[in-house]
Chains A and B, each alone.
Chain A
Amino acid sequence: MQKVFGRPKGLTEVAFSFCPGCTHGIIMRLVGEVLEELEIIEDTIGVSPVGCAGFCQDFFSCDFVGAAHGRAQAVGTGIKRALPDRIVFTYQGDGDIAAIGTQHAIHTAARGEKITSIMVNNAIYGMTGGQMAPTTLEGMKTSTSPYGRDLVINGYPLDLPKTIATLDGVKYVASVSVDSPKNILQAKKAIKKAFQVQQAGLGFALVSVLSTCPTNWGLSPVDSLKWLRENMMPVYEMGELKVAEEVKNL
């Protein structure tokens, strides 16, 4: 018998530090599989954020740099400018990339920086215990929006990928989800394409992945997937939001 499913070479043996059922782990596996399939493990330098994914430097088999909260794309820019022939990617939570790091999110994209960014949108600040994120949905209760996100006080949730897709330097933007096997396979395709865009030296690529936070949502892992599907997917524009001409030919 042959192994048809297992740990990809892009991941180390280290067990993930995420809570039970947290889909950060699925997304990391997908990235690990893509690194293996594109045969770029030895060429890649990853940049980890501050947040629940902050330990991902231990989980991937490639070189890694830990950035300050929100700064992963600036750090990635520095690495890529120093080593243009290497593959550089950032893996960031929604708070990291869409709140404290927004200036880098916009300008890394606008510059067409040849890096790949993975944004994990779980509508909450996981690491710090469930505070409101820029992506928290209207009416959603968090520890800093205990009465539910009030649009008058807190404003609207930010659909960052949609904004990024409007910028010229950007070659590929996709918003995907990992709530079902079908969508997980879709997500992997998008992640793979985002790395291929960089391999081809085309420009900036972003994949936003809707993800669960069972712990801070106060739901079971199974119910979290359902909640994501019913509440987040209608709010965030899904699918490939930008595919530049050059990318279509990849």
Chain B
Amino acid sequence: MARVKVLSEYCKSCRLCVEICPKGVLQIGDKTNAKGYYTAIVVDEEKCNGCTLCGIVCPDVAIEVYK
């Protein structure tokens, strides 16, 4: 059981987390943050296994993972 959280104000929509997640937990959503970026969102939380790969590749430290 794990949980991933996107700190959307830090997100710049670069997609690196979306591409790296082996379970397809993350996607780019249809809402923008204050800076105007469509931010990553968690679409399939159940599948997150807490591997933290998304956080490791995120260039904006916009991801938190809980386990």
Contact = CB atoms under 8 A, between A and B. Distances in A.
Are A and B physically bound partners? yes
B13 to A, nearest CB: 6
Interface string A16-40: 1011111111100100000000000
B65 A6 contact: yes
A223 to B, nearest CB: 10
B60 A15 contact: yes
**A interface, size bucket:** 20 to 34
Contacts of B42: none
Specify the main secondary structure of chain B where it touches its partner. loop
A5 B63 contact: yes
B63 A221 contact: no
A234 interface: no
B59 interface: yes
Contacts, number: 79
Contacts of B12: 19-21
B1 to A, nearest CB: 8
Contacts of B37: 20
A55 B48 CA distance: 34
A16 B58 CA distance: 12
A21 B9 CA distance: 15
Interface in A1-22: 1-7, 11, 15-16, 18-22
B67 to A, nearest CB: 5
B50 A29 contact: no
Interface in B11-45: 12-16, 19-20, 37
Contacts of B59: 16, 18, 20-26, 221
A231 interface: no
Interface of B: 1-3, 9-10, 12-16, 19-20, 37, 50, 52-53, 55-61, 63-67
6 contacts: A1-B3, A5-B63, A184-B57, A221-B59, A222-B15, A222-B16
